[in-house]
Amino acid sequence: MSQKRYIVDLSDAEIQALETLLRTGKHSARKLTRARILLQVNQGKTDREVADNLGVNLSTVERTREKFVHSATLEEALKDRPHPPKPRKLDAKAEALLIATACSDAPDGRAEWTMQLLADRLVELQVVESISDETVRQTLKKQR
């Protein structure tokens, strides 16, 4: 068994803060998992035991341990790193076409446009390679 590089030694105040966090309020699942990891590691459980107990990957336990040791505060150790925004599927020109299509007469045999029909039309017009009906819905909703 190898020597652990990042030792988690929680103070009584930190243990209390983590237990309170787990009992109260609304927090992200990731934040709650990190709190549980820190508490279990502090109790002397191995990374493998913690990973098995919480149903997470072993590397998640290792990264959480490392982040805690390098963080200035407990809150910082529990915080999610920022995720880069996903590139937009539709640019302004494509959105304008979508809106114009949605406002036009529905295809033959249809009373109105459905989100799936609009998505299919964008693909048919080669505006995008693929797009989900949910992206179409969110784009139209944003325009209200």
Asked whether residue 74 carries a pLDDT value surpassing 60, the answer given is yes
Residue 37 has a CB neighbour count (10 Å cut-off) of 27
The pLDDT, as a whole number, for residue 144 is 67
The pLDDT, as a whole number, for residue 143 is 75
- Nearest alpha carbon to residue 101 among 123, 122, 116, 128: 122
Model confidence pLDDT, tens digit, residues 9-67: 999 999 999 999 999 989 999 999 999 999 999 999 999 999 999 999 999 999 999 99
Distances (CA, A) of 43 to 18, 32, 37, 81, 91: 13, 17, 10, 26, 51
What single-letter DSSP state applies at residue 4?
A: P
The pLDDT, as a whole number, for residue 70 is 93
Model confidence pLDDT, tens digit, residues 120-142: 999 999 999 999 999 999 999 98
Q: What is the pTM of this model?
A: 0.60
Model confidence pLDDT, tens digit, residues 80-131: 888 899 888 999 999 999 999 999 999 999 999 999 999 999 999 999 999 9
